[in-house]
Amino acid sequence: MTEELYDCWPDINEQDKRIALDILVGWREYTQRMCDAISPDCVVQQTTALQLCNSKAGELIHIILLAAGGKYENTSENKMLVYTTVRELLTILTPNTFLPHSNIMMSGGLIAPYNPLVLHPMIKLGMKAWLWSLGTELITLKEASRVSGKSLSSLSQYVDRGKIRSFIDPAERNPQKRVRVIRSEIEALTS
């Protein structure tokens, strides 16, 4: 399947293609397991990487990869396309499957740092695309302190009390630096 990646989505980098293909292959394998559970005669058609890329789920993933890669013009139409795409893809891929349920990405609250599924690279790309679609910029608490003029400890208290929403950045290895907050909410604190 690796050689077919070069024919698939020429506007996406190879690393993101591999992440997406991993999700699509997992989805296909899950579908086969469900089929096997229903009937021993059930067969899911084998597909190539190119066929997976051209599937409905593949088309949706392509849109997410473009948004996560900053390849969409910042218009309300594009933001709505990406937002609905993320939700639709999660609807296709997550009913009792191998990915976390959509509330992990769609909630306005904390993403649990202990949830290993959140660490999947496709979830990170989906989250990046989803936040872009909302026009949301996440910043570190240190950056929030600079923007607001408030101390790190007071901002941490705002987070603890739920006065500002926070997210965990699963890519950040240092647990002390994982928290991200929404820039517009921090800017609203200063007005």
pTM summary value = 0.64
Distance separating the N- and C-terminal Cα atoms of the chain:
54
HEC-encoded secondary structure of 17-32: HHHHHHHHHHHHHHHH
134 is a domain residue: no
What average pLDDT values come out for the chain (191 residues) when binned by 10 residues? 67 86 79 79 76 84 90 91 85 50 36 44 78 83 94 92 80 79 88 72
Among the listed residues 180, 156, 158, the one whose alpha carbon sits nearest the alpha carbon of residue 169: 180
44 is a domain residue: yes
65 is a domain residue: yes
> Rounded CA gap, 122 and 1, in Å?
19
> Could you list the residue range(s) of the whole structural domain that residue 64 is in?
2-100
Among the listed residues 163, 159, 167, 114, the one whose alpha carbon sits nearest the alpha carbon of residue 138: 167
What is the SS3 assignment for 180?
strand
137 is a domain residue: no
19 is a domain residue: yes
